[in-house]
Amino acid sequence: MKVILSSEQIKRTLDDLANRIISETSDEFDIAVIGIRSRGEILAKRLSRRLSKKRGKDIPYGTLDITLYRDDLNSPQGGNQPQVRTTEIGFDIDNKIIILVDDVLYTGRSTRAAMDALVDLGRPKAIKLAVLVDRLGREFPIQADYAGIKSDAAPVKSVQVNLVESDGKDEVIVE
Amino acid sequence: MNRRSKKFKWQRKHLLGLRDLSAEEITYILDTAKGFEQVSKRSVKKAPPLRGKVVCNLFFEDSTRTRNSFALAASRLSADIIEFTKKSSSVSKGETLLDTAKNLEAMGIDIVVIRHSAGGAPKFLSRSINACVVNAGDGFCEHPTQGLLDIYTIRKIKGTLEGLKIAIVGDIAHSRVARSNIWAMSKLGAEVILVGPPTLMPAQVSRLPVSVSYTLDEVIEKVDVINMLRIQFERLGGNPFPSVREYSHYFGLTVERMKRAKPDILVMHPGPINRGLEIESEVADGPNSVILEQVTNGLAVRMAVLFLVNQAAAQWK
């Protein structure tokens, strides 16, 4: 097991992501943060706090469940049967710049599913992808607009993002 | 994905009844249904998980709510639907249930939703064809999606079924809704009280996990939920009660009786209602009534059921 981001580094990485998002987004448009269940949801909440502070106004956040949009629902899933959970987005996404947040960008399949789920909810001005870890191994033509760190972990390895809210501790490990 | 937590896995490709399900399985369906509720509330009221699948509504008995609810549930999940009704089919030429189903299956059907007057018909079908089978009501046996939507409605408002006192009132003997309710509600920790004239109680009522009362006045004050069943005139043989007026007098949910009920009692009815018979209009349309919420929730529950049986079927490929 190797720790690639410590608790302190996660904090700094999120600060840095928030800075970059604010500096590259025109004041003209409203921003909203939407996290993909379940780690993305937590990161979205943290990011929206930082963005709200920097913009000096409330940047809303929401949670997206992508299960219904997955591309493996009709294939055997082994022990990893995805459970349908709720999408909780308490605001209109029309014409907003949506910062879509996930913990790890790997194959790009979750991001594809998330984009399809989002356009069924409305027509955002733009969707930008922010991730904590940008891992090598894309299967779809998708890339992050804002990435914390890059990882070239081999396909047999697992990149795990642990967060205080869900796992009791902030760290990113490769094992 | 969530790889660390202990995972429950849904494994049933048929939903035949609630009697065989564990409390955990029932809860899993209800939790899944929560995720489907919002699909009906957003700008695009459709999601893609059953894209390319075919659902057949195989109804050998009349139905308004259940058939349309399943049809809408299937279309919101992007499935294609074949509507089969007995009257306009070759059943009127003598084709058997099995032949009908096998022929429909030969067209490439993935899920059969069946309603039949013979108890056990869905189970029989599930053993004979490869498609998933969902019971939409069989004889006096079960109507599992109605039971699920009833529980979903109660859980949404009361939070849990644990410790609730629930009265099911009326024609229990001929009610598959009552049976599905009894099995599932008792599994989830509710106390079920059956209320009705002795002539409308099932023969082996002592073997059910319930208590029985023959007067509504005795239970109205203490229950949290009251589920009023329809008097099914089409199924009644003989004279189970002397007159409709007498039945109403003893077992009807009237405005007068409601005055003695808990202020937050939930009034439920699976529909269709005989207004003025088992329930007075003012009560059916009153503030404690969740009858139309039941219908709305039924859609989410049926979406969840169709989704789950298909997901289980995918494991066997």
A78 occurs within a structural domain? no
The residue to which tokens 């607009």 are assigned: A145
- The C-alpha of A50 sits at a distance from chain B's nearest C-alpha, in angstroms, of 25
A174 touches A157 (CB < 8 A): yes
Chain A residues within 8 A of B310 when measuring between CB atoms: 73-74
Q: Chain B: give the shortest CA distance to residue A27, in Å.
A: 27
Top residue of A1, A37, A83 to mutate, by most chain B CBs within 10 Å, is A83
Residues from B in contact with A at Cβ < 8 Å: 1-4, 7, 9-10, 28, 31-32, 34-39, 42-44, 46-49, 304, 307, 310-311, 314-317
What ipTM, to 2 d.p.? 0.90
The set of residues, in sequence order, having a beta carbon less than 8 Å from that of B197 and lying 6+ positions away, is: B214, B240, B241, B247, B250, B251
B-chain residue closest to A71, CA distance = B49
State residue A80's pLDDT score: 75
* Best CA proximity match to B152, nearest among B300, B317, B311, B312: B300
Chain B residues in contact with A167 (beta carbon < 8 A): 4
Let me know if residue A62 belongs to a domain.
Answer: yes
Instruction: Test B1 with A82 for CB contact under 8 angstroms.
Output: yes
pLDDT at residue A13 is higher than 80: yes
Whether A149 is covered by a domain: the verdict is yes
Please say if the pLDDT value at position A19 is more than 60. Answer: yes
Q: Which residue segment(s) compose the domain that A166 sits in? A: 2-70+85-174
Domains of chain B: 23-142+297-314 (3.40.50.1370), 144-294 (3.40.50.1370)
Strand partners, A128: A99
Tally of domains in chain A: 1
Q: Which residues of chain B have pLDDT under 70?
A: 1-6, 92, 317
Region A131-154: mean pLDDT is 97
User: pLDDT tens digits, residue range B218-256?
Assistant: 999 999 999 999 988 877 777 778 888 999 999 999 999
Q: What are phi and psi of A103, to 5 degrees?
A: -75, -50
| Closest chain B residue to the Cα of A78, Cα to Cα | B315
**Does residue A38 belong to any structural domain of this protein?**
yes
User: In angstroms, what separates the C-alpha of A154 from chain B's closest C-alpha?
Assistant: 18
Q: Could you report the per-residue pLDDT of B26-47, keeping only the tens digit for each?
A: 999 999 999 999 999 988 999 9
And the tokens for B180? 């599905």
In a domain, A80, yes or no: no
A36-83, pLDDT tens digit by residue? Answer: 998 999 999 999 999 999 999 999 999 999 999 999 988 877 667 889
Cα A57 to Cα A17, A27, B140, distances in angstroms: 18, 11, 60
Q: A160: nearest CA in chain B?
A: B3
What's the confidence (pLDDT) of residue B237? 72
The CA-CA-CA angle for residues B138, B140, B144, to 5°, reads 55
**A76 in a domain, yes or no?**
no
Residue A79 counted as domain residue: no
- The reported pTM is 0.93
Whole-Å CA distances, A139 to A70, A75, A134, B119: 14, 17, 13, 50
Whether residue B38 and residue A84 make contact (CB cut-off 8 A), yes or no, is no
CATH number at residue A158: 3.40.50.2020
Sheet holding A97-105, edge to edge: A61-64, A31-36, A97-105, A126-135, A146-151
Residues of B in contact with A119 (CB under 8 A): 44
The per-residue pLDDT for B317 is 64
Q: Which residues of A122-132 are buried (b: 16+ CB within 10 A; e: fewer)?
A: bebeebbbbbb
A73–B46 CB contact, under 8 Å: no
Q: Is residue A150 part of a domain?
A: yes
